[in-house]
Amino acid sequence: MNIPSNLKYTKDHEWVSLEGDIATVGITDFAQKELGDIVYVEVETLDQTLEKDEVFGTVEAVKTVSDLFLPLSGEIIEFNEELEASPESVNTDPYGAGWMVKVKVSNPSDFDNLLSSDAYKDLIGA
């Protein structure tokens, strides 16, 4: 299982990278494997400011639909539009081409409170 040490994680299986005050968010390798083949990613919160843990979208797999929870408070400034044509990128490259949104972070301390890769490994039993 791929759990990059340079990222932070949530208990809801999202990953976060932070550059300045812009966070990139996606779902983890573990989450995409649990969901199975992803057929659709929906984000209707573009240009909205949300609080940490609010739903920012959904991911639809063959088996189920799951909410996506924002790991940090801020404004959704970009959606990975490539996912509209190729949602399977979440399965094949969850930490690269499968990223979902970029967020202008309003509370940088939210990032510090996320799980390290080791803590996330403990959470999922990896």
| pLDDT given for residue 33 in this prediction | 95
Question: Can you tell me the mean pLDDT for 52-70?
Answer: 95
The rounded distance, in Å, linking the Cα atoms of 47 and 90 is 22
The rounded distance, in Å, linking the Cα atoms of 25 and 87 is 15
| pLDDT given for residue 48 in this prediction | 97
Question: Can you tell me the mean pLDDT for 76-96?
Answer: 97
Predicted confidence (pLDDT) at residue 53 exceeds the cutoff of 90: yes
Length of the chain as a residue count = 126
Predicted confidence (pLDDT) at residue 26 exceeds the cutoff of 90: yes
| pLDDT given for residue 1 in this prediction | 81
| pLDDT given for residue 126 in this prediction | 87
Question: Can you tell me the mean pLDDT for 59-71?
Answer: 94
Question: Can you tell me the mean pLDDT for 83-89?
Answer: 96
Give me the half-sphere count of Cα atoms (radius 13 Å) on the Cβ side of residue 99: 16
Q: Are 65 and 57 in contact (CB under 8 A)?
A: no
| pLDDT given for residue 87 in this prediction | 96
